Chain A
Amino acid sequence: MQTDRPPFVPTALRISAGVIIWAAHFGVIYAYTGLACARRVHATGVTWIAGVPWVIGISTAIAVALMALFIAPALRARGTVRFVDWMSAGVAALALIGVLLEAVPVFMVPVCG
């Protein structure tokens, strides 16, 4: 019997990597902001709200760096890019737009309003 070559799970994860990173980024910034506005002041006296721009900034930087890892190979490739590589890069590029669009409002909108 033929085995699964190339294996399915790594292939699927590679194609979806960009949006999985997007989902993690989205979850982190949404959860932290929600908690910050619900709790306002931490027991130690530090405001959660003050941390919001930092959390968004750092998580966005990490997400962008990780996405670049999946986009770069397709940009460097010569000739026709293999389907899986192309999809991996394309999905990551789309997710990158999502990450940036979601991060930008931190410069424009009050955190809790």
Chain B
Amino acid sequence: MSAKRQVELPNPAPRPAEELEELRRVWAVPRGLRTLTVINNNHIGVYYVGTAFLFFIFAGLLALLMRTQLAVPENDLVGPNLYNQLFTMHGTVMMFLFAVPAVEAMGVLLLPNMLGARDLPFPRLSAYAFWAYFVGGLVFFSSIFFDLAPTGGWFMYPPLTSERYSPGINEDFWLLGIGFIEISAIAGAIEIIVGVLRTRSPGMTLDRIPIFAWALLVFAIMIVFAFPAVILATTLLELERAFKWPFFSADLGGDPLLWQHLFWFFGHPEVYIIFLPAAGMVSMIVPTMARTPLVGYRLVVLALVGTGFLSFGLWVHHMFATGIPQLSLSFFSAASMAVAIPSGIQIFAWIATFAAGRVQMKTPSLFVLGFLFTFVLGGLTGVMVAAVPFNWQAHDTYFIVAHLHYVLFGGMVFPLFAAFYYWMPYTSKNALSERVGRWVFGLIFVGFNVAFLPMHVTGLAGMPRRVYTYPAGLGWDTLNLVSTIGAYMIAAGVLLFVIDVARKFRMGSEDNAGDVWKAGTLEWLPNGIYSNRSIPIITSREPLWDQPDLAKDVEDGHYYLPGAPTGGRETLITSPVDAKPQYVLQMPYPSWDHFIAAVFTAAFFMLLTFKLVVLSVVCGVIAIGAMVTWLWSLDPGPTHPPVHIGGGIRLPVYATGPVSQSWWAMVILILVAGSIFACAIFSYLFLWTVSPDVWPSASSLPPAGYPLAAAALLVASSLCVAYSSRALARRSAVMTFVSLALAVPLMVSAFGIDMAGLFEAELSPTDSAYAAAVYLFLSLQGFYAFVVVFMACFTLARQAAGKLSSVRRVTFDNTLLFWHYTVAQTLTGLALVHGFPRLVG
């Protein structure tokens, strides 16, 4: 451990006794039915983790049913239709309802304390993300009890999942049903990015950020760029199924491979989206259990960043058997080899840290060792399947099932169990039982290897995946039986864990078991419902090891913001690189708005699945109404003069422009929108590449006057909004209102003119893949026009209500940013749709 360091305390004098009581009062958790409105991270985080684990159990039970069916040849326990639903739901629930939410949940639970913040910057957004996931997830899962679960596998390839081959609503359940989880994941990602970059303790510069926070930052950025691909893919397939827009129908110029490209552009990074936070947890647990700082901190950060990016260059390695040019395959094969380097760096860093310290061989250490063993094996078979010739042999066999479970179970579930044991004392009054923990580890580790190691052989012996039964005498019988025995051992381990949690877990934000491991990072500071009593200044990566009186001084309120100077919930916003205090963020209280919005968002998607359009729209309107009420209560303006936080620092309690947390969230949302749009451009160009024959000649396009007029109107609308912004800064209320109001009809007219042009060209979206792609861009234009017009009306309403001024302008800035983005995106779309065919035709 490094040398002891002293810090000059910002508030060295004893604090008034009533200060702590006030903190407790403002951060108090609602009781009774209003518990549903809670937004404190230490409560929502626990609900979130618990729900994710519940889905792990549900998906695990589906796996047990499958393994029971496959235990013996020619078994008739489960028929082919149910079996299809079982493996589809197992994969979907594990990936969408367990793995991603589980790591996001750990972030919500741990990040604020780990960073030294009072809470994440948008606590209602976290709560919204959780409730949408909870309600939507349970309804989605229950589809299997009504023979309505999807059957196309978790990656839902068309044409199998097209209306022709999969009629009914089972596949729609997947396509629309996971809409809520996409929204939930993106909401969580925005929260995490802004949280990690803007709410760190003073002194927590980039090179002192805990590795778990680095990992979650990379994870959240990956969600921003990866999830849009699956959002667009599901939209296209649903458009094809519901309205016969032939994106994937080869006879009309579509291509099923477009789905695979879009899906795996999300799906492969998804593996690392799951793995990186788990690796981040391991990087927190290993140094504590070895009682020494992590070896190679910089290399591990480098590995996280490198993996995050490189993982976007691997998607075609799921498509090696689709006939893509050989040289193209080799690019992805090479990238798959390259990504092994950063993974290797992390593994060596963990081994070196264990070797450098004195390891406490407790349950978290056992699960970390289990993870290392399992994940390395999965990584090695990953390199094998990255080699194209081997991949062709192993494709769609049980070898792949074994490989993916070694990577995902090894790379995510083992670390998560280590994390449960490690951080349980942080959130519970009791740690989990060490004795039971060893049994849990033993059963899961041995069970896992008994279940999945033989599957490599089963696959090499030729057994294809996703078959509901198999004939005897092919050499698969014993291997399958052994795998089933292993699956039941895993189940026994998980059951034992659940029993131990039921026995030991008692939620305790004020009286948790505390730092039983003698760890070095901030989440182990004494904390209450308000997180830390005061916000520390840190001088190293393991402040609890290097700043001897830190815990006592934080608890005594000697650091920043020891009370609630505005009389409400607050946290400190710091600069993103050097973590210097910038302003005090006034945070919201619990309310019903986000809860209602979340429940009805989930209901909107689910009812749409049942084609109950009217009811679905009603739910959508209620969800939007609740969101409007929620947003109306935000942007409080500078309601309080600047406050003293200690150390002679006086900070404002409101910020606008690029420094505000709201601006950051909007920019991230724009990145999400930009990624969706980039995927749409890719789809258009891909379809043109494979089917140039359905692209029209210049003479059959709408006359150029239409797109040019639409473009002029769009530019004019942006100029109006920009002028409105200047008028607001000049305090000219009338001109602010008039110019913003004028932008609305300009935007609507631009959409109308573009649509009229397509009608004049007599183009119907069902004609061909080209026509469908053109209407996709028109739909995007219409959707974004609707959103920005809605935002403008909201902003105008706030101005009319006296809630907008030259200093209180966060709402206006959000509208301004999104408006300009929408215009830029639409202009790009017009150039592509109207310019590209003229260019190549």
Contact = CB atoms under 8 A, between A and B. Distances in A.
Interface of A: 1-8, 11, 15-16, 19-20, 22-23, 26, 29-30, 33-35, 37-39, 52, 83-84, 86-87, 90-91, 94-95, 97-98, 101-102, 104-106, 108-113
A1 B655 contact: yes
A110 B452 CA distance: 37
Contacts of B341: 94, 97
Contacts of A1: 582-583, 651-652, 655, 659
B313 A38 contact: no
B326 interface: yes
A101 B340 CA distance: 12
A87 B582 contact: no
Given A111-B327, A112-B327, A104 B334 contact: yes
Nearest to A113: B326
B310 interface: yes
A110 B207 contact: no
Interface in B297-326: 298-299, 301-302, 305-306, 309-310, 312-313, 324-326
B689 A38 contact: yes
A110 B328 CA distance: 10
Contacts of A111: 325-327
Nearest to A97: B338
Contacts of B326: 109-113
A49 to B, nearest CB: 9
Nearest to A10: B577
* SS of A interface (majority): helix
B331 A30 contact: yes
A33 B306 contact: no
A112 B581 CA distance: 56
Nearest to B309: A19
Given A87-B301, A101-B335, A26 B313 contact: yes
Contacts of A83: 205-207, 298
Contacts of B335: 26, 98, 101-102
A109 B299 CA distance: 33
A63 B335 CA distance: 15
Contacts of B576: 4, 8
Interface residues of B, number: 44
Contacts of B206: 11, 83-84
A30 B312 CA distance: 13
A86 B337 CA distance: 24
Interface string B581-625: 111000000000000000000000000000000000000000000
A29, A30, A94, A113 — which one has the most chain B CB atoms within 10 A of its CB?
Answer: A94
9 contacts: A3-B575, A8-B575, A19-B309, A37-B328, A90-B302, A94-B302, A97-B338, A97-B341, A98-B310
Contacts of A109: 326-327, 330
Query: Which 6 residue pairs spanning A and B have beta carbons closest together?
Result: A113-B326, A105-B330, A19-B309, A83-B207, A101-B334, A98-B338
B580 interface: yes
B309 A2 contact: no
B578 interface: yes
Nearest to B331: A102
A33 B328 contact: yes
Given A5-B578, A102-B331, 8 more contacts: A16-B309, A23-B309, A87-B302, A91-B305, A91-B306, A98-B335, A101-B335, A110-B326
A112 B197 CA distance: 45
Contacts of A84: 206
B784 to A, nearest CB: 24
A5 B659 CA distance: 11
B735 to A, nearest CB: 28
A105 B327 contact: yes
A51 B298 CA distance: 40
B342 interface: yes
B690 interface: yes
A1 B309 CA distance: 34
Contacts of A7: 577
Interface of B: 197, 205-207, 298-299, 301-302, 305-306, 309-310, 312-313, 324-331, 333-335, 337-338, 341-342, 575-578, 580-583, 651-652, 655, 658-659, 689-690
B420 to A, nearest CB: 32
A34 B342 CA distance: 28
Contacts of A102: 313, 330-331, 334-335, 338
B203 to A, nearest CB: 14
Contacts of B331: 26, 29-30, 33, 102, 105
B611 to A, nearest CB: 38
Contacts of B310: 19, 22, 94-95, 98
B342 A101 contact: no
Contacts of A101: 334-335, 337-338
A34 B689 CA distance: 9
A59 B342 CA distance: 24
B593 to A, nearest CB: 30
Nearest to A53: B327
Contacts of B338: 94, 97-98, 101-102
Contacts of A113: 325-327, 329
A112 B575 CA distance: 50
A110 B655 CA distance: 58
Contacts of B575: 2-5, 8
Given A1-B651, A8-B576, A110-B326, A94 B301 contact: no
Contact of A52 (B327, B337, B577): B327
A13 B744 CA distance: 35
A11 B329 CA distance: 34
Given A15-B305, A98-B310, A34 B298 contact: no
Contacts of B205: 83
B643 to A, nearest CB: 12
A34 B659 contact: no
Contacts of A33: 325, 327-328, 331
Contacts of B325: 33-34, 37, 111-113
Contacts of A8: 197, 575-577
A20 B313 CA distance: 12
Nearest to A90: B302
B577 to A, nearest CB: 5
A101 B582 CA distance: 44
Nearest to B840: A43
Contact of B306 (A29, A86, A94, A108): A94
Contacts of B582: 1-2
A101 B338 CA distance: 7
A7 B301 CA distance: 20
B578 A38 contact: no
A84 B578 CA distance: 11
A55 to B, nearest CB: 11
A16 B225 CA distance: 15
Contacts of A90: 298-299, 302, 306
A11 B575 CA distance: 12
A16 B327 CA distance: 27
Contacts of A108: 330
Contacts of B207: 83
B325, B333, B581, B658 — which one has the most chain A CB atoms within 10 A of its CB?
Answer: B325
Contacts of B337: 101
A109 B312 CA distance: 23
Contacts of A23: 309, 312-313
Contacts of B580: 2, 5
A11 B627 CA distance: 35
A1 to B, nearest CB: 5
A30 B406 CA distance: 30
Contact of B577 (A4, A26, A35): A4
A4 B305 contact: no
